[in-house]
């Protein structure tokens, strides 16, 4: 029997702010122009001998990111299931079962893990198939290579036929002293957060331990809205769910547990310190990204998105310079960053949630410069894509083509714009941009007016069925 992957791609990644935001979470970030972690996990479960097509469970805000990044590496998905709000992993696990066939084998896995060996990963997953088919929930444990305080731990009992283990107990994120003690024990493993089970098993255990969540998910699916390739769960029912992890709601209560070793180098990339640990460093043990000159810096992470950065005399620090934000903190404090972010009001500091780059079904835009009465954007329009036929009431726009070729609609006219050509769109004028080519095109858009909010839009025609 083949395994059906369900990849969890929600979450905000607050411990990696300002690189990760709720509208651009860490799993979609590309470091040094490599694949994102989301793309890595898609590639990892793309072996057609072992797996069916992958399904994605994500926040509604990230649906276009999911689609764009899967298309980018030419991997076809089965379903993209949209959660109206994040409710943690218990709800997501039950969602996976309701979108599967009876007795289908489900691999539930996060999208932000760093795993160094695809073959060994898949060999480890296959070891859990027998136990899962026999009605167990299989967890995958990793032998610790350091005393980590940010991970949960599993204590095992005995070996069953050299494939799986009985679980003795779970130990939640310990302090450093206890983490050092656990690290020295032979029967201790990190809990990877990867699970293998039959759809009927997780539904049965959900009925036993969290029936209200199961009921709400059931009706959220029944009343779903299907929009092209997206399955949007009903918000009324889904919003009733109490946010809780699969670990607390089911796993730590179930009697149907087994653990298999995941014999790989692994990290969940949950913090800036994790980034530092899991990337190649220079001779002074620094991990450097971007344009940077550093003198006498040691054991530090220096990340510069676009700005030229000069650092001197840093030791055991994190410096993350993003276009609109700057973070400076001790590496040892990186696990506490989410607590700081939670204290801040996103209405006052929109940099907490919103990135300068936003994704749309037709491509993306990035804000380059803005003030009270003007805004400059770089629009990227994907091949064979177009923005909606629309108008704005309060702003005018000026478009300059800097890469590729587009068809611009202006009123009743269609105008072909090649590189270095421009056009003005007045407030109240109906307009559209269409890319009919097989290559991306880029537009510099200059907005002017007394109101520049994204809600100043009236759509007349839209390929993507947006209101």
Question: Band of the pLDDT at 279, cuts 50, 70, 90?
Answer: confident
Question: Band of the pLDDT at 278, cuts 50, 70, 90?
Answer: confident
pLDDT of res. 162: 64
328 phi/psi in degrees, rounded to 5: -135, 120
Positive or negative, the CA dihedral 409, 415, 421, 424 is negative
**Which residues, including other chains, have CB under 8 Å from residue 421's CB and lie 6 or more apart?**
400, 401
End-to-end CA distance of the chain: 42
pLDDT in tens, 340-355: 888 887 778 777 777 7
Residue 466 has pLDDT above 80, yes or no: no
8 A C-beta contact, residue 451 and residue 394: yes
121: tokens are 């990963």
Spans of all domains in the chain: 3-267, 272-339, 357-461
Residue 172 has pLDDT above 90, yes or no: no
Question: Band of the pLDDT at 56, cuts 50, 70, 90?
Answer: very high
How far from 455 is each of 179, 204, 387, 392, CA to CA, in Å?
Answer: 49, 45, 15, 9
Residue 285 has pLDDT above 70, yes or no: yes
What span, in angstroms and rounded, lies between the C-alpha atoms of 182 and 407?
A: 63
pLDDT (average), residues 441-464: 90
Question: Band of the pLDDT at 23, cuts 50, 70, 90?
Answer: low
pLDDT (average), residues 53-73: 89
Between 61 and 380, the more confident residue is 380
pLDDT of res. 31: 66
Question: Band of the pLDDT at 467, cuts 50, 70, 90?
Answer: low
Positive or negative, the CA dihedral 151, 154, 160, 162 is positive
What superfamily does domain 3-267 belong to in CATH? Answer: Spore Coat Polysaccharide Biosynthesis Protein SpsA; Chain A (3.90.550.10)
| 326 beta partners | 321
Per the document, the length of the chain is 467
What span, in angstroms and rounded, lies between the C-alpha atoms of 450 and 394?
A: 7
> Of all residues in the chain, what percent carry a pLDDT higher than 70?
96
pLDDT of res. 408: 94
| Domain covering 357-461: architecture | Sandwich (2.60)
pLDDT of res. 289: 87
Residue 389 has pLDDT above 90, yes or no: yes
pLDDT of res. 332: 85
pLDDT of res. 360: 83
8 A C-beta contact, residue 222 and residue 236: no
pLDDT of res. 32: 58
Highest mean pLDDT among 159-163, 184-188, 338-342, 460-464: 184-188
How many Cα atoms within 13 Å fall on the side-chain side of residue 222?
A: 8
pLDDT (average), residues 187-199: 93
Residue 8 has pLDDT above 90, yes or no: yes
**Mean pLDDT across the chain, nearest whole number?**
89
How far from 85 is each of 68, 163, 211, 239, CA to CA, in Å?
Answer: 21, 38, 20, 7
pLDDT of res. 465: 64
Between 349 and 207, the more confident residue is 207
Residue 35 has pLDDT above 90, yes or no: no
Give the burial class of 121: count Cβ atoms within 10 A of its Cβ; 0-12 exposed, 13-18 middle, 19 or more buried.
Answer: buried
Chain position carrying tokens 């950065």: 309
Between 101 and 337, the more confident residue is 101
pTM of the model: 0.79
The strands making up 363-370's β-sheet, listed across from edge to edge, are 357-360, 363-370, 374-381, 441-449, 395-403, 422-425
Residue 86 has pLDDT above 70, yes or no: yes
pLDDT (average), residues 27-43: 83
133: tokens are 């088919």
Characterize 41-60 residue by residue with b for buried, 16 or more Cβ atoms within 10 angstroms of its Cβ, and e for exposed. bbebbbeeebbbebbbbbbe
pLDDT (average), residues 280-295: 90
pLDDT of res. 245: 94
Where in 361-450 does DSSP place strands (E)?
A: 363-370, 374-381, 385-386, 389-391, 395-403, 406-410, 413-417, 422-425, 431-435, 441-449
| 227 beta partners | 230
What is the DSSP code (8-state) at residue 119? H
Candidate from 138-147, 169-178, 337-346, 393-402 with smallest mean pLDDT: 337-346
pLDDT in tens, 413-445: 999 999 999 999 999 999 999 999 999 999 999
Question: Band of the pLDDT at 297, cuts 50, 70, 90?
Answer: very high
Smallest CA-to-CA distance from 92 within 5, 190, 192, 28 is with 5
Residue 12 has pLDDT above 70, yes or no: no
Smallest CA-to-CA distance from 335 within 102, 126, 175 is with 175
165 phi/psi in degrees, rounded to 5: -130, 150
- Between β-strands 413-417 and 406-410, what pairing exists: parallel, antiparallel or unpaired? antiparallel
Candidate from 42-51, 60-69, 81-90 with smallest mean pLDDT: 60-69
8 A C-beta contact, residue 80 and residue 64: no
pLDDT of res. 160: 55
Question: Band of the pLDDT at 33, cuts 50, 70, 90?
Answer: low
């Amino acid at each position: 029997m083949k395994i059906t992957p369900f990849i969890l791609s929600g979450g905000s990644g607050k411990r990696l702010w300002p690189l990760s935001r709720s509208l651009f979470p860490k799993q979609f970030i590309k470091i040094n122009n490599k694949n994102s972690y989301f793309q890595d996990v898609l590639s990892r479960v793309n072996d057609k001998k072992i797996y069916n097509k992958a399904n994605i469970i994500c926040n509604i805000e990230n649906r276009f990111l999911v689609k764009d990044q899967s298309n980018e590496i030419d991997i076809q998905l089965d379903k993209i299931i949209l959660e109206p709000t994040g409710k943690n992993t218990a709800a997501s696990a039950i969602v996976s079962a309701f979108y599967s066939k009876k007795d289908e084998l489900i691999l539930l896995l996060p999208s932000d893990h760093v795993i160094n060996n695809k073959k060994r990963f898949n060999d480890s997953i296959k070891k859990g198939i027998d136990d899962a088919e026999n009605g167990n929930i299989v967890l995958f444990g990793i032998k610790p290579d350091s005393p980590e305080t940010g991970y949960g731990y599993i204590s095992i009992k005995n070996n069953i036929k050299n494939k799986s283990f009985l679980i003795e107990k779970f130990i939640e994120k310990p302090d450093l002293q206890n983490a050092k003690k656990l690290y020295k024990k032979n029967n201790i493993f990190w809990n990877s957060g990867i699970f293998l089970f039959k759809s009927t098993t997780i539904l049965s255990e959900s009925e036993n331990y969290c029936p209200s969540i199961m009921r709400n998910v059931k009706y959220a699916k029944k009343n779903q809205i299907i929009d092209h390739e997206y399955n949007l769960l009903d918000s009324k029912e889904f919003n009733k769910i109490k946010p809780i992890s699969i670990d607390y709601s089911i796993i730590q209560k179930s009697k149907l547990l087994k653990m298999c070793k995941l014999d790989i180098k692994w990290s969940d990339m949950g913090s800036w310190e994790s980034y530092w640990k899991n990337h190649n460093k220079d001779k002074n043990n620094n991990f450097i990204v971007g344009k940077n000159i550093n003198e006498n810096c040691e054991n530090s992470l220096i990340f510069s998105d676009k700005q030229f950065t000069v650092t001197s005399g840093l030791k055991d620090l994190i410096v993350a310079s993003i276009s609109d934000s700057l973070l400076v903190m001790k590496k040892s404090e990186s696990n506490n960053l989410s607590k700081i972010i939670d204290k801040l009001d996103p209405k006052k500091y929109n940099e907490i949630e919103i990135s300068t780059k936003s994704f749309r079904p037709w491509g993306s835009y990035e804000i380059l410069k803005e003030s009270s009465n003007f805004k400059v954007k770089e629009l990227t329009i994907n091949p064979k894509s177009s923005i909606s036929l629309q108008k704005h009431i309060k702003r005018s726009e000026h478009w300059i083509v800097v890469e590729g070729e587009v068809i611009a609609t202006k009123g009743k006219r269609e105008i072909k714009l090649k590189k270095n050509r421009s056009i003005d769109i007045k407030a109240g004028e109906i307009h559209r941009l269409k890319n009919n080519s097989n290559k991306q095109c880029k537009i510099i858009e200059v907005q002017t007016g007394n109101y520049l909010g994204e809600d100043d839009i009236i759509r007349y025609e839209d390929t993507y069925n947006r209101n």
